[in-house]
Structure 1
Amino acid sequence: MTIFDILTAQAATRPDAVAIDALDGQPLSYAALRDRVTARIADLAPRLQPGVPVALQRDHGRESAELELALLAAAIPVLSLPGFFTADQSRHATGLCGAVPDPTIRSAGSGKPRQSAPVPLPGGTARISFTSGSTGMPKGICLSADHMLTVARAIVAAVGAEHAGRHLALLPPGILLETVAGFFPTLIAGGTYVCPPQAEVGMADPFRPDFARAVRLIAEQRITSLILVPEYLDGIVRVMEAADIRLPLLTLVAVGGARTPVPLVERARRLGLPVRQGYGLTECASVVSLQDAGDDDPTSVGRPLSHMQARVADDGEIVLDGPICLGAVGGAAPHTPLHTGDIGTIDAAGRLHIDGRKSNLIITSFGRNISPEWVEAALTQQPAIAQAMVWGEGRPAPEALIVPAHADADLEAAVAAANALLPAYARIGGWRQAAHFTPMNGQLTGNGRLRRAAIAAAYLDGTPDFFTELEAQTVRERLRFLTIPQLQAGLTGTITRDVYLAYLAQAYHHVSHTVPLMQAARARLGGRPAIVAALDDYIAEETGHEEWILSDIAVAGGDAAAVRASAPAPATAAMVDHAYRRIATGNAMAFFGMVYVLESVSVALATRGASAVAKNLGLPPQAFTYLTSHGALDQDHMAFFAELVNGLDDPADRAAILGMAREMFALFGGVFAGIEMEPARAAA
């Protein structure tokens, strides 16, 4: 049975039941969904070539759901690109398989695909899912429609159609797990797929979610099922615990994608969350096993679904028999049975227990085999620790890279608490602070798995470069900066037009000093040709940007002339004065610490804040030229900045940049904190 057969059957038996709800006031019934998919097929068929994939990189929403179904029904392969892929990753994936842009978006695509001959796809390819893997460029796995629907039907058979109420899509768009285990099973079982844009559910940045907003929406929209990665489960549990909230309408919370700490599962279940752990691989169309309703073992990932069989090899590796992918783009079809690379056990009840990755095993100098995931789970269950990567091959004890969860995190105490949960041979012997591991910096996969090789290359293979150290040494200042209410409101778009204008006014005042500050630094650094050349490039690019801000103010309905004539707020003046003073009286290289803070922050404001504010305020794109242009510019600037500072060998230069960066996070934070959330209006 094809996806169109499924829609046709549902439209015949339950025509008026709601199939798709994007919370935009226009829910689609099954009859309407069938008709709209039929119309889209007719529209797309003449414009697309059979066998040539279409690249989709869209937010959740009604149109995205329709388009995905239409392409699947029309046998047009879909190249699914998560929104968090870098431009290079998207170009690589698009160029490798010869995908054409989304036909519903006239200016689709993030640059031209790489100029290389596309690789022929295996026959029957319906979806190409690029996984981050362990290297810089992702690997494309080709799946057939029959394979994906086989898995979806097996999930419905295992869970029961009675759970098909209102399923909410929380995972980022483009993630295979949500499509195969959430979208398709909901339609097969006759439920409602709730798929609003990510910002609506607090997921504008899927790696820094607003879990309080997500929990409110789950309650308000009477959601009955979710698919989560462990990090999302942890965030939801923390909100529920802090606010003493319960979500009694949830009947299924499936958790997968990475190892879930046992204490987290236990906390979730104490709150009444019906958590079921699962296990899978992209090569198997995402889901292999899922816990039964009565399986309360927090270490189990359930029994294999009806279409799969599992066994454990002599060396502990999980081996699977059943449908697998058609192959990777440009690669041969995989051999069966599939050796997963995961180590684990199968208990007497036939349930899988995953201990970690076979290739990740650490053998200490005492000869003890340790799964790093096990130790990482003990670390990340500590509230002070956001992320951890454990390593230590050939060392007496494991060591860890640790990312603090908040600015005042006591990592030493957290490590001690984690060690108390571990046997002596597995306890952390040494640790150091790291910056966040994210897909954007290439250190995390889309579903939350550590990309260990990339992290090791940054931190462990020799001495870390200075840019890596700068990020690690300022992570607490960044976390403190991100807690400022005015900044959070801007990133989520929940500000008034007056607040946006107040922000632009202060941006004008500090941006108008950017070029003079660079010129002051250039005068002090005249004997260093490479630095002078870099400053000249910056000056050429930054000249006149304050005028962009005045233009934005005018388009947004503000008084640009009044802003030009006004004085900066005290916090803005303090930040600018501090920069001039550091350049004039200290090591002028400190200026680059200011560059680091302002440009890294502007990337976040551009990529997260501008679209959210524009949508909420109903302002045209011309009111956001400063933010949106700087998002692209400053991403390029950050790459240039990293190359520049990594070439600095003088410890005094490095110390000056690091010190200024720490100071600037606090001073720039003061600029945001000084903006009144509800500015007083002049009396009439």
Structure 2
Amino acid sequence: MTRLLDAIRGHAERRPGAIAIDGATPMTWATLARVLPLLAEDLATRFGDGRPVAIQLDQGVGESVLDLALLEAGIATIPLPPFFTPAQTNHALDAAGAEMLFSGPAILSLDAEPSLEMRENHSGRPDRSLPEGTARITFTSGSTGDPKGICLSRDHLFGVAQAVVGTLGMHHAGRHLPILPPGILLETVAGLHATMLAGGTYVALPQSAVGMADPFRPDVMAILGTIDREAITSLILVPEYLAGLVAAMRATGIRLPRLTLVAVGGARIDPLLLNAAADLGLPVRQGYGLTECASVVALDDGDPASRGSVGRSIGANTLQLADDGEILIDGPLFLGTVGAPRAPGPLATGDLGRIDDAGRLWIEGRKSALIVISHGRNISPEWVEGRLTRQPAILQAMVRGDGRATLDALLVPSAPGADVAAAVAAANHALPAYARIADWQVVPPFTPATGLLTGNGRLRRAAIDTAYPAQEISMDHASSEQPFFNRLVAETREAQARFAMTPQLVAGMTGRITRADYIAYLTEAFHHVRHTVPLMEEARARLAHRPILVAALDEYIEEETGHEFWILEDIEAAGGDSLAASRAPSPATRAMVEYAYDTVRNGKPAAFFGMVYVLEGTSIAMASHGAGAVQAALGLPDDAFHYLTSHGALDQEHMVFFEKLMNRIDDADDQRAIVAMANAMFGLFGALFAGIELEATCVTA
């Protein structure tokens, strides 16, 4: 029997009818104490051969009990966050030699013979060598595309959870709401395990019910409402979620007096955000930890004098600094990685910090990210990024410039029309001359799906550098020596990034729309897609003297003919009326189509290929990410997604063809016309989405 089960049985004896795990089917301590060992025994019988099992589940009562039962059974688990790409998931399953992948929902039966039912997919991966005692294999996003498997023991996990309880005290054991995505180690150890040890209530609601359907674009108003409605007393957040919560509280006037603890970690927190949270009465305590240390290492004690620090060690580990300021951690550490035991000695974290006279740790940046400009100044990029993201117009920022005379930045706007230039100017005004941004570019959001963000919201700097080489950062047009397709991408990147922030598009890409919303989108798609072939035919007629472009248009016309009828079939399959859908387009859709005709008829007909670039690139993204999310959320049949899924597959082939075609266009006027058309179409297509009035509450920008 583990110390966790021992604690659960103790709570059951003292308060048998109190709720241990709240949610769709609330579970009392008495019930949990009864069913947990039975479920653990069943799992040990079925999966007790030493092979790990993977879990990719939403939050819920059944899902929480499964986590506890697997630990009690001594079965190594591989929790996989929902934002892992298929490639990352497959890599994790293969690297760890997973026997099984559990996916949701987890249906819990509380009969005399309790059971858990969920989707079980045999992995078929070969067995791998794991360090002895491995209970959990956590795959971090890492600095490359392949996640790295960190192996942790059961005693280590429970030891950190117990240290969290010892540091905070039992009085914080109220109602804890998991906000972080499922599979995140910090929430499991400091949230679920610590709550079970302390005797609180774990409020395990599905992510969509909380406002976290897309963890990288949270619905902060929904989160605020859930915290208030569910009488939540404790939370674990990352800085971005805290910023959203503060903004929502300011906008609504809602206060959360029942909260006794808001633990925040995962990245550096702007001091102004900490002050703003304190002004609203939020009991924020900043923490510090690493996966290799089973999450929490240090936690602020809540004293206003320590605000901005991550506090002292919670007692599980010791902290010291190397000569260059790097934080070194000793004590209980990870067992190693899959196939590789850990070398003895302290863990060099790569983080820079200082320890004050009171023994509190202050984080000052990343050793590897430190920028040394050619003037000899050392600059922490997090400092400058914090100044930038403090501006309402900037959602995300990455600053770089090592070895160069000035800094540049890649910036994600908070909304399509955000005034990024004014925001950069305001941030620069608050910075010393050597740390100001000299050049910048607007880019699409950094997310784990694109490989540019870790699961806990940290920038994957090396990957971002590769995606956006420094020589392409200039706000001037790209060099004419580049292949034209590369220039087209570079010169339309800002328009594409602003288009990507359209709230209705974000809602659709993350599945947070209703059936009526989806039908409304298909209706507008019908009205512009039915003009695709006529537009191509007009462009072809005006380009008759250009055999390369005529041949390309002939191929496109053959491929695109009849696609509007796919959309009408999708509308019917989704429960809509295809006859009603064909009557009249929205003003925004009409404006987009009319602009395209006017450009082809009265301008440069080759400009039409700028529209091709926008529509095909967007359909690839929607097919790869949006279609599956919408289908899963609405439960619609495959027949309702013929246009999106088929069009996406076709357009992936088309884009390869398109790149080669663009690189054969050498007329400078045609090139300028194609770029101008693409930039205009991103704006017009964004207006089409923005004109759809969603029934469901969509993402806040």
Range class of TM-score, shorter chain: 0.7 to 0.9
Residue 677 of structure 2 corresponds to 660
Q: Distance in 2 between matches of 1:531 and 1:33?
A: 70
Q: 3-state SS of the aligned residue for 2:196?
A: helix
Residue 62 of structure 1 corresponds to 61
Does 2:576 correspond to 1:558?
yes
Residue 589 of structure 1 corresponds to 609
Residue 637 of structure 2 corresponds to 621
Residue 469 of structure 1 corresponds to 490
Residue 600 of structure 1 corresponds to 621
Q: 3-state SS of the aligned residue for 2:32?
A: helix
Q: Distance in 1 between matches of 2:149 and 2:558?
A: 41
Q: 3-state SS of the aligned residue for 2:296?
A: coil
Mapping of residues 268-667 of structure 1, within 5 Å: 268-460=277-469, 462-463=471-472, 465-466=486-487, 469=490, 472-475=493-496, 477-478=498-499, 482-483=502-503, 488=507, 493=512, 495=514, 498-513=516-531, 536=555, 546-560=564-578, 563=581, 566-579=583-596, 582=599, 585-587=604-606, 588-590=608-610, 591-601=612-622, 603=624, 605-612=626-633, 614=634, 620-621=636-637, 624-626=640-642, 629=645, 633=649, 655-667=672-684
Q: Distance in 2 between matches of 1:192 and 1:301?
A: 26
Residue 682 of structure 1 corresponds to none
Does 2:28 correspond to 1:29?
yes
TM-score by length of 1: 0.87
Q: Distance in 1 between matches of 2:279 and 2:554?
A: 57
Q: Distance in 1 between matches of 2:302 and 2:587?
A: 59
Distance 1:297 1:609, change over 3 A: farther
Q: Distance in 2 between matches of 1:334 and 1:193?
A: 36
Residue 480 of structure 2 corresponds to none
Q: 3-state SS of the aligned residue for 2:449?
A: coil
Distance 1:625 1:45, change over 3 A: farther
Alignment check: 8 A CA contact 2:509 2:625 kept: no
Q: 3-state SS of the aligned residue for 1:359?
A: coil
Residue 137 of structure 1 corresponds to 146
Q: Give unmatched runs, 5+ long, in structure 2.
A: 105-117, 474-485, 696-701
How far has the Cα of 1:209 moved from its partner?
A: 1.2
Q: Deviations over 1:87-108 (max 9, x none)?
A: 1111111111111333466766
Residue 483 of structure 2 corresponds to none
Q: Distance in 2 between matches of 1:634 and 1:58?
A: 32
Amino acid at match of 2:458: R
Q: 3-state SS of the aligned residue for 2:64?
A: helix
Q: 3-state SS of the aligned residue for 2:166?
A: helix
Q: Which moved more, 1:28-37 or 1:273-282?
A: 28-37
Q: Which moved more, 1:577-586 or 1:293-302?
A: 577-586
Residue 479 of structure 2 corresponds to none
Alignment check: 8 A CA contact 1:326 1:334 kept: no
Q: Distance in 2 between matches of 1:53 and 1:631?
A: 38
Q: Which moved more, 1:347-356 or 1:409-418?
A: 409-418
Q: Distance in 1 between matches of 2:157 and 2:527?
A: 55
Q: 3-state SS of the aligned residue for 1:348?
A: coil
Q: Deviations over 1:327-379 (max 9, x none)?
A: 11122313321111111111111100111111222222222222222222222
How far has the Cα of 1:161 moved from its partner?
A: 1.4
Q: Deviations over 1:248-284 (max 9, x none)?
A: 1111001100111111111111111100000111111
Distance 1:354 1:545, change over 3 A: same
Q: 3-state SS of the aligned residue for 1:388?
A: strand
Alignment check: 8 A CA contact 1:459 1:468 kept: no
How far has the Cα of 1:549 moved from its partner?
A: 3.8
Distance 1:104 1:259, change over 3 A: closer
Residue 197 of structure 2 corresponds to 188
Distance 1:50 1:477, change over 3 A: same
Distance 1:138 1:244, change over 3 A: same
Q: 3-state SS of the aligned residue for 1:280?
A: strand
Q: Which moved more, 1:548-557 or 1:335-344?
A: 548-557
TM-score by length of 2: 0.85
Distance 1:528 1:296, change over 3 A: farther
Q: Distance in 2 between matches of 1:389 and 1:440?
A: 17
Q: Distance in 2 between matches of 1:336 and 1:525?
A: 73
Amino acid at match of 2:490: E
Q: 3-state SS of the aligned residue for 2:332?
A: coil
- Which of 231, 238, 242 aligns to 1:233? It is 242
Distance 1:451 1:490, change over 3 A: closer
Alignment check: 8 A CA contact 1:599 1:637 kept: no
Q: Which moved more, 1:628-637 or 1:318-327?
A: 628-637
Distance 1:621 1:271, change over 3 A: same
Q: 3-state SS of the aligned residue for 2:182?
A: coil
Q: Deviations over 1:128-156 (max 9, x none)?
A: 11111211211111111111111111001
Root mean square deviation, CA, Å = 3.5
How far has the Cα of 1:163 moved from its partner?
A: 0.8
How far has the Cα of 1:301 moved from its partner?
A: 0.5
Distance 1:198 1:515, change over 3 A: farther
How far has the Cα of 1:39 moved from its partner?
A: 4.3
Q: Distance in 1 between matches of 2:53 and 2:662?
A: 39
How far has the Cα of 1:437 moved from its partner?
A: 1.6
Distance 1:121 1:513, change over 3 A: farther
Q: Distance in 1 between matches of 2:499 and 2:627?
A: 17
Amino acid at match of 1:261: D
Q: Distance in 2 between matches of 1:317 and 1:124?
A: 30
How far has the Cα of 1:623 moved from its partner?
A: 6.8
Distance 1:597 1:219, change over 3 A: same
Amino acid at match of 2:16: P
Q: 3-state SS of the aligned residue for 1:79?
A: strand
Residue 681 of structure 1 corresponds to none
Q: Distance in 1 between matches of 2:536 and 2:30?
A: 62
Q: 3-state SS of the aligned residue for 2:232?
A: coil
Q: Distance in 1 between matches of 2:655 and 2:290?
A: 33
Q: Distance in 2 between matches of 1:502 and 1:172?
A: 30
Residue 224 of structure 1 corresponds to 233
Q: Which moved more, 1:544-553 or 1:1-10?
A: 544-553
Distance 1:266 1:533, change over 3 A: same
Q: 3-state SS of the aligned residue for 1:600?
A: helix
Q: 3-state SS of the aligned residue for 1:102?
A: strand
Q: 3-state SS of the aligned residue for 2:150?
A: strand
Q: 3-state SS of the aligned residue for 2:362?
A: strand
Alignment check: 8 A CA contact 2:513 2:630 kept: no
Q: Which moved more, 1:422-431 or 1:633-642?
A: 633-642
Q: Deviations over 1:460-495 (max 9, x none)?
A: 354475576367322553156x245x9858966464
Q: 3-state SS of the aligned residue for 2:340?
A: coil
Distance 1:301 1:602, change over 3 A: same
Amino acid at match of 1:12: E
